Chain A
Amino acid sequence: MGFLDNIILGFQVCLSPTNFLFCLIGVTLGTLVGVLPGIGPMGCIAILFPATFKMEATTGIIMMAGIWYGAMYGGSTTSILVNIPGEAASVVTCLDGYQMARQGRAGPALGIAAMGSFIAGTLSVVGLMCVAQPLATLALRFGPPEYLAVMCAGVVIVTYLARGSTLKALMMAAVGIILANTGLDLITGLPRFTFGFEELTDGIKLASIVMGLFGISEVFINLETAFKTDIYKTKYSNLWPSLRDWADSIWAILRGTAIGFGLGSLPGVGPITSSFVSYAVEKKVSKHPERFGKGAIEGVAGPESANNAATGGNLISLIALGIPSNALLALLYSSLIVHGIQPSPLFIKGHPDIFWGLIASMYLGNVLLVVLNLPLIAIWVKVLKIPYHILFPLILLFCIIGVYSLDSSTFDLHIMLIFGVLGYLMRKFGYEAAPLVLTFVLTPQLEAHLRRSLTISDGSFAIFFTRPIAAGVLSFALFLLLSNFSPYLRKGRKKHQAFADEEDG
């Protein structure tokens, strides 16, 4: 099938009434959780994750992806109007977006954020389309040691870029590995680590873990803070940026797109880092860096484009290699596994309807998002006024229903509550949940590749260091790990952490 045939196939899939509807639901929910502080795309996808089991695989993945990139659009609204990022990747948009709103230029700020997101989102889908297939072909040469090496590198990068301590992130990765071993052994079929509970024979369910760690614990944390949103009273009727605004922003949008897509394609680097890097680059290349922080439109256009482009870049490793590079993609990965579809280099060839359907849905979703975000901005501003004491019972209820609906088991609900408490304590004690979820999802594959590699090499670990790709990737991962002990290299990481701290603040 030619390129054009594939695109036509994609649009045929995504324009079917069901897929179109769920694409619309996904981007609308994404915008909603992007706008609402206190719940992000991860929490929303976690809540809806069990619902995807009852859908077709294509429908489920179209909706989940829609939530993800939709949240990037929605996040900018609160950053600009309220100075509260609805989504972590929009933290940096507060700096200039809110200042623009204070100067009575909320309309152009919202407009350029939406248009930049649209351009970047669309270009990143083009990039994904062009890069994923050749990379998948290359990955067909990978054997078990290479896969194991890439997975290890992904986990190391996620722990390296963790907001807090790398040590604690690595500990969480180890906990994820241990938890994933609950249930029947893949090879012998014997139960392990079930602690006498028959319900654990199937293992701990991912839905219980993610809803506990991201849904319930998020509510617990938010209960400790009083949410108060003061919307800056400003006009946002004229949303279309002027020609001058376009001239100031267009290069920032294109640079943001390149940065977001490039960084996003690296395992573990997501929209948050991309938006901060884009802001730093814009400030660096600007002839008037003193304008930044005081309402420079490039400071909105660049980061908003970067965080949207990063979502397309992030999908590369999942689609081309079958390796999720962050916790959110781990859910997309698991959703496909549940439907009996193994993401791998053969995925594009074996399931062209899903791949091209997803690509086409992202084009469509980006158009829908512009329609949702610009003319309907007044509605999203009203949504911002929903008080948290009304919102949190709904979040809790959706978590409960989501987990219970999987197996009609109250045992899963207990597990969810245990992970809710664990997630709350982890946040208090400075541990991140993302490495745990990522290794929990990757461990079955990791275990299979490790066992296969050791069987091939007759028990020798040298196999990982004598094959060039595996050796190269593992050396890179090792270098990253050791760099934590080097004061010079640690400086770069501190910079990233400073960004993240700013985001928390």
Chain B
Amino acid sequence: MKHLDRISSLFWLFFSIYIFFESIHVGIGRLQKPQAGFIAFGGSILLGILSVVLFLQTFFRKEQADTSGFSIPLWGRVLVMLISLVVYVILFEKLGYLIDTFLLMIFLLSSLKEMRWGWILASSFLITFLSYYMFTKGLGCQFPYGLFGL
């Protein structure tokens, strides 16, 4: 965990430095008359100090064997899911809700376990149309039509 804490504390430290300068740019005002960047300025100082404390702690802290971390095969599964979701969002307005969601469901349902294609296609079709019907008719949501006006 020490190693992970060092990485994350540095990330938050750089983030806080960025916000610190950005809030000065926005304007922090005076104590009598705080301005738009005042709270973010305070938040960035707090985050910066805490990040430094966490970073320093990693050098003085005693710790048992590291049990956390990322397992590459499982981490890969998450990455594949994430990529599929990013692609889905990018194509959302181009393909339209029905086609895009149908393709996503096929991918997701077939990704974790081997199942019969007939079952996957039927389930994807059902999920897509039921969700479309439920949210457009029931809750008045509007989805993009996209390709073929679907």
Contacts and interface: CB of A to CB of B under 8 A. Distances in A.
Interface of A: 51, 54, 165, 167-168, 170-171, 174-175, 177-178, 180-181, 185, 187-188, 190, 192-193, 216, 219-220, 223-224, 387-390, 392-394, 396-397, 400-401, 404-405, 408, 410, 413-414, 417, 420-421, 424, 428-431, 443, 446-447, 450-451, 454-455, 458-461
B118 interface: no
A30 to B, nearest CB: 19
Interface string B33-69: 1111111101110110011011001000000000011
A359 to B, nearest CB: 27
Contacts of A180: 39
Interface centre among B4, B43, B90, B127 (most CB of A within 10 A): B43
26 contacts: A167-B50, A167-B53, A167-B54, A171-B54, A174-B44, A178-B40, A181-B39, A185-B35, A192-B37, A193-B40, A388-B112, A393-B104, A404-B92, A405-B141, A405-B142, A408-B142, A410-B90, A410-B92, A410-B93, A413-B89, A424-B78, A428-B4, A428-B69, A430-B4, A455-B32, A461-B31
Q: Which 9 interchain pairs have the tightest Cβ spacing?
A: A459-B31, A459-B32, A393-B108, A177-B43, A185-B36, A389-B112, A174-B47, A405-B141, A224-B74
Contacts of B116: none
Nearest to B80: A223
Nearest to B78: A220
A429 B139 contact: no
B12 A171 contact: yes
A183 to B, nearest CB: 10
A171 B51 contact: yes
Given A188-B35, A414-B89, A396 B74 contact: no
Interface string B133-150: 001000111111000000
Contact of B50 (A170, A187, A394, A420): A170
A177 B45 CA distance: 11
Contacts of A446: 39
B44 to A, nearest CB: 6
Interface centre among A51, A219, A400, A430 (most CB of B within 10 A): A400
B43 A454 contact: no
Contacts of A429: 4-5, 7-8
B5 A417 contact: no
Given A223-B77, A389-B112, A397 B101 contact: yes
Given A167-B53, A397-B131, A429-B5, A447 B39 contact: yes
A393 B109 contact: yes
Given A171-B51, A224-B74, 14 more contacts: A175-B43, A177-B39, A177-B40, A177-B42, A178-B47, A220-B78, A223-B78, A393-B105, A393-B127, A396-B85, A397-B101, A420-B85, A428-B4, A428-B69
A54 B140 contact: yes
Nearest to A166: B50
A340 B89 CA distance: 31
A51 B139 contact: yes
B127 A192 contact: no
A388 B81 CA distance: 15
Given A224-B78, A421-B82, A171 B50 contact: yes
Nearest to A454: B31
A220 B46 contact: no
Given A224-B74, A410-B93, A454 B34 contact: yes
A54 B89 CA distance: 24
A401 B135 contact: yes
A389 B89 contact: no
Contacts of A408: 142, 144
Contacts of B36: 181, 185, 187-188, 190, 192
Contacts of A430: 1, 4-5, 68
A398 B53 CA distance: 39
Interface in B68-87: 68-71, 74-75, 77-78, 81-82, 85-86
A54 B139 contact: yes
B121 to A, nearest CB: 14
B109 A389 contact: yes
A430 B33 CA distance: 38
Given A192-B40, A404-B143, A417-B85, A167 B57 contact: yes
Contacts of B23: 181
A219 B84 CA distance: 14
Interface centre among B40, B88, B131 (most CB of A within 10 A): B40
Nearest to A226: B112
A417 B89 contact: yes
Contacts of B104: 393, 397
Nearest to B106: A393
Contact of A171 (B19, B35, B47, B57): B47
Contacts of B142: 405, 408
